[in-house]
Structure 1
Amino acid sequence: MNSPLPTMQEAAQEAEFQLLAAKDLLEWQCALSSAIHLDHLHNGGKSAGALAELAKYFSDTGFGGVYSAIDQFKQLGESETAPQNLQYENVSRDAGGAQ
């Protein structure tokens, strides 16, 4: 699948979204760890197995978007013809003409 490379701004926005999603998943993992610990202390670990399975599910499914965003940045960094944000070009022209 050869899709066009996103602009740096689009890739940065996607990376920001994916990192925020990953942050949420890590916070959920931390909460699950606390719940497993409390379950062992107060309930003899009766729910620990189910909570551990949920933690594994989050781990297995949650970070694919982060890897995709990293790959996009890698492709942009290696591309000699990476799309540029036209707004920056216009700002440069305006600044040069104002002198």
Structure 2
Amino acid sequence: MSVQVNTYVLCGVKLPFSECDDDAAFEKLEPYLDSAFKGIHHHNGLCVIDDGMNGNYTFIGRVLAKTQNYEHFNEPVSPDISNLEKELIANLISAQFCIEKPDVKVWVFSHYR
């Protein structure tokens, strides 16, 4: 079994994986799922990164930066995101995923798949 890893900077929400771990949820999330090998993938302005390997999280939001597979950021990343942009992302999450008042934050994480 091979493992891919990307590091992400994402503005959005982190949910428990268990909230999205059934067939109906997967069908809804599938168009939003990101790939290890392609560039940043947004569907209707949002991206989903879920931890199918360990079941620890599901992130929903806008990817601000992403490394290539097995790569790292060569320079520090400092996302400049306004409160208005955070509000827009929160509204998209609320509308597309029926999450009331999502607590949108900027997250940095390495994702293994």
Normalising by structure 2, report the TM-score.
0.24
Q: Which has the larger radius of gyration?
A: 1
Normalising by structure 1, report the TM-score.
0.27
The structure richer in strand per residue is: 2
